Amino acid sequence: MKPEITPLEERIVELAGEHREACCALNKAEAELQYFDYKVGEEDAKKTLKLISQHSLNEQKPLLKYLREKLGRDGSVDRFQLMSGHAQLMNTVNDLTRKIEQGRGITIDDIEEVKSVLSSRISSEQQLFLKIYSLLDEELKEEISDGSDGGAGESGK
């Protein structure tokens, strides 16, 4: 006879499913960004397109590679740390889900572990996104102070 699953355990299984869906959406967004199809707000899209024209077409440098290089220079965001945080979170959530499915129940420690791993991952991602946006702003400020517009789309009509 299978043990009864408590409402809390049921909710954790639901959250695990939601997390997997969110991860799939994040991975898809990253893949789209890598292939320059990333759609964001109009201003962000303009900034992104300017960077793409500068660093992809002119120097054959994909945008993500460029951002990773710049992010890695000052060591404030480590992408590998971010990815290992993702793997750690998935492992923790999967272990918890297995425990529940096997009817072993969960403890407060299990929940604390998930909260700890999750808050660490959220913090790393926030750092990464803030750093990317500050880099985009720096690039545009440099262009404005140089009085250049990157030369994109300047040919006569």
pLDDT score recorded for residue 66: 53
Q: How many CB atoms lie within 10 A of CB 145?
A: 8
Neighbours of 132 (CB within 10 A): 19
Per-residue DSSP letter, 45:
H
Please state whether the predicted TM-score (pTM) of the whole model is above 0.85: no
Q: Domain locations in the chain?
A: 7-145
Q: Is the dihedral of CA 134, 136, 139, 144 positive or negative?
A: negative
Q: Are 152 and 98 in contact (CB under 8 A)?
A: no
Residue range 68-123, pLDDT digits in tens:
555 555 545 455 555 565 666 667 777 777 777 777 766 777 767 776 776 666 66
- Taking alpha carbons only, the member of 140, 114, 141, 103 closest to residue 5 is 103
